[in-house]
Amino acid sequence: MNNSKHEYIISKQLLRSGTSIGANVSEATCAFSKKDFLSKMYIAFKESAETLYWIELLHDTDYLNETQFQSIYNDCLSIKSLLSSITKSTAEAINS
C-alpha cells in the first residue's frame, strides 16, 4: 500500500467509528425498551474503543502530534468512560 494513502484510510476509519458513537447514542434515546437502549449504548461504547484505537494509530504513525493526540484521546476516553457507566448501570437495572 502506498504510504500517502495510509493517513486517508486511517482517518476514514476514525471518522466512521467516531460518528457511529453519536449515531448510536441518538438511536438509544428513541429506544423502545431498556434492553434496546442498552444494546445501542453498548454499540456506542464499543465504537468509542475502536475510535481510541484509530487515534492511537494516527499518533503512532506521526499523523497527530502529541498535543493533538492528548486532546482528542482524552476527550474520547471520557466518552468511553461515560458510556461504560451508562451500560453498567442500565444492565444492573435490567437484571434487578
| pLDDT tens track for 14-42 | 999 999 999 999 999 999 999 999 999 99
User: The whole model's pTM is what?
Assistant: 0.90
Q: Which residues, 6+ apart, have CB-to-CB distance to 3 below 8 Å? A: none
Confidence of residue 1 (pLDDT cuts 50, 70, 90): very low
**What is the rounded (10 degree) CA torsion for 69, 70, 71, 76?**
90
Q: What is the pLDDT of residue 4?
A: 60
Please state, rounded to an integer, the average pLDDT across all residues of the chain: 93
